[in-house]
Amino acid sequence: MSNLTGGDVFLKLETLQPTYSFKIRGALNVVLALVEHGHGRPRLVTASAGNHGQALAYAARMAGLQLTVYIPETAPRAKKDSIRRMGAELIGCADYDEAESRAKQHAAAGSASFISPYWHADVIAGAGTIGLEIAEQDPAIETIVAPVGGGGLVSGIAVAIKGSGHGAEIVGVEVEASCPFHQGLAAGRIVHINVGRTLADGLSGNLDPDTVTFDIVRTMVDRMTLVTEDHLRDAILGVLREERLVAEAAGATGVAALLRDQRQIHGRRTAVVLSGANIDSEVLASLI
């Protein structure tokens, strides 16, 4: 990646986590907090494009908690199968926006605690440990690039980095087909967008009006950028070819941003969060 971009590039391999994405950090943090604060064995409910659902199912199973996951029917089969294998109840929805709405309605009925995949405080804090680790592992890092869907990952990293006094620039990357932050930041408020089809299913959807991530991104993320579907394909194949690593489209979004505009990191020491590896084998085969 360094040779391809002209920068000094390091990949933060969240693809090697249990459940193969960074989401395990927030999920374990949520469940640990519930257990430590003596909430008994609450039933949990969440919405997920797939990775958060897998991670929370993993953590809930460890703690003996019941979990219901609302998920788009279009989510990759591998993600849905994994959630079922870990014992969570899975309810299909038309898209992510419907999944989030129905999960919140489920919680409001009083039968479960809603765990947002991106704006729950413990989820954001869990994601922030990535920023702390990057700063500890390489204090000379000048830029950190992270994918942006609901903004929990980049928010956690930004809070951790800025709060620690580290001077790294934080760059968030959205896909053109679903870019609620780009449109919202331009309008000065959260806006409803028309979500298009994208390989990056994990980044697709509107922002919850209750999210705290919009204000965090607005005040603490230094720069936002966009990538296209072609850039996502190039990034998935580039990571596979050059680094012998598998990444899903959402996970490779940071790499896509570097390949799209190499000038933004030329000569800079850059950490890119490779955030997930849960790509269906059929999709990967078709791209190859």
Mean pLDDT of the chain: 94
pTM (two decimals): 0.93
- Amino acid letter for position 190: I
Residue 39 to residues 36, 87, 184, 242, 245, Cα–Cα distance (Å): 8, 21, 36, 47, 40
For the segment(s) 2-21+121-287, the CATH number from 1.10.287.70, 1.10.1660.10, 3.40.50.1100, 3.90.550.10 is: 3.40.50.1100
- Residue 51, class by beta-carbon neighbours within 10 Å (0-12 exposed, 13-18 middle, 19+ buried)? buried
Q: Indicate if the pLDDT at residue 262 is higher than 80.
A: no
- Residue 250, class by beta-carbon neighbours within 10 Å (0-12 exposed, 13-18 middle, 19+ buried)? buried
Q: What is the pLDDT of residues 55-96, one digit of tens each?
A: 999 999 999 999 999 999 989 888 999 999 999 999 999 999
Q: What percent of the chain has pLDDT over 90?
A: 86
Nearest Cα to Cα of residue 147 among 70, 78, 49, 64: 49
Find tokens 């990535």 and name the residue. 130
Describe the strand order of the beta sheet including 223-227 as a list of residue ranges. Answer: 8-13, 269-274, 143-147, 169-175, 223-227
Q: What is the pLDDT of residues 99-118, one digit of tens each?
A: 999 999 999 998 799 999 99
Residues of the chain within CATH 3.40.50.1100 domain(s) are 2-21+121-287, 23-114
